[in-house]
Amino acid sequence: MKILVVGGAGYIGSVCAELLLDEGHEVGIFDNLTEGHRAAVDPRAQFIHGELQDRRVIEDALSGTRPEAVMHFAANALVGESMQNPSKYFRNNVANGLNLLDAMIGTGVRRLIFSSTCAIFGPPERVPIDETMPMRPINPYGESKLAFEKVLRWYDEIHGLKFVSLRYFNAAGASPKFGEDHRIETHLIPNVLQVALGQKPHVEIFGTDYETPDGTCIRDYIHIIDLARAHILALKSPRSEFYNLGTGGGASVREVIDCCRKVTGRKIDVAEKARRPGDPPRLIASSKKIKKELGWNPQFQSLEAIVESAWAWHQKFPRGYGD
């Protein structure tokens, strides 16, 4: 297939593009490089530098590449920032997403794979979180993703645009080529590995008195390659659908740090801080539905496998992509 990966120079998009190319698909990457990196663009892909806020530019990209489907990763995704600047999140995650959808309709592209988030659910009534749970986001980031999911439902009904929305929490790990290098790094594993590399003095633990076995928050980590495979499987979905993605287990902050110590063999100091407002003690997603309907079968379930792949990439690229 011909696939246009929007946001394909970012962390998840770059690995999805890599796996698509490995499987013989023809790939175009559209990115404005504000969050992504030019060095994260697979050289086998056609790269188009552009802004989603300019509908003419994305229409030209679609007309030029003539994809059979679009994968959409181009979003802002920092919860804290969304609480400080909600306008940025609704403009980029919703309004710019509408530009993409309208351009797809205008150029006859009728299939979209959307990178969503389990943040649309808010604090869960129970875990693991499945697709039947009420959606009550507690920040503009989650609200913007939920708003776009609602838009997708109507574009399917009115325009026949088929979509699959994949909701997940923590992508982690790396492929041998591409890994995690955010300009503002909020994710736990790369922050811990920066300590192991000597780039930071310690890693911060926010809250040690949660109702969990070791007092620290538990989160769901999915290997980036397993996540990419879920997006590729979604291309085969015969209908529009929503799927949650998770391991069903999860790991605590302390367990992640201990695993990083084991994998790296290095000392990793911690600094214990007070809880952050709004951090639920446990966030875990269920993948029963996508496993049953699309046959998703994650290959890298263990935390150690995730950390090993991330550590290998960070050792190879200690300064990330360097741009």
Cβ-in-10-Å burial (0-12, 13-18, 19+) of 113 comes to buried
- Alpha-carbon dihedral sign for residues 170, 176, 177, 180: positive
* Encoded tokens for 49: 């530098």
Amino acid of residue 258: D
Nearest to 122 by CA among 95, 106, 140, 97: 140
What's the rounded Cα separation, in Å, for the pair 160 and 153?
10
- CA separation for the pair 227, 230 (Å, rounded): 5
**DSSP category for residue 95:** I
Q: What is the C-alpha separation between 301 and 246, in angstroms, rounded?
A: 10
Which segments within 125-231 are labelled E, that is strand?
162-167, 170-172, 203-206, 218-219, 221-223
Q: Is 243 one of the annotated active-site residues of the chain?
A: no
Catalytic residue among 11, 89, 141, 210: 141
| Paired tokens of 269 | 């100091």
Cβ neighbours of residue 256 closer than 8 Å, sequence gap 6 or more: 188, 189, 192, 221, 303, 307
Please give the full DSSP string across 99-144, using - where no structure is assigned.
HHHHHHHHHT--EEEEE--GGGG-S-SSSSB-TTS-----SHHHHH
Q: At which residue do the structure tokens 């709004």 appear?
A: 278
> Which positions are annotated as active-site residues?
141
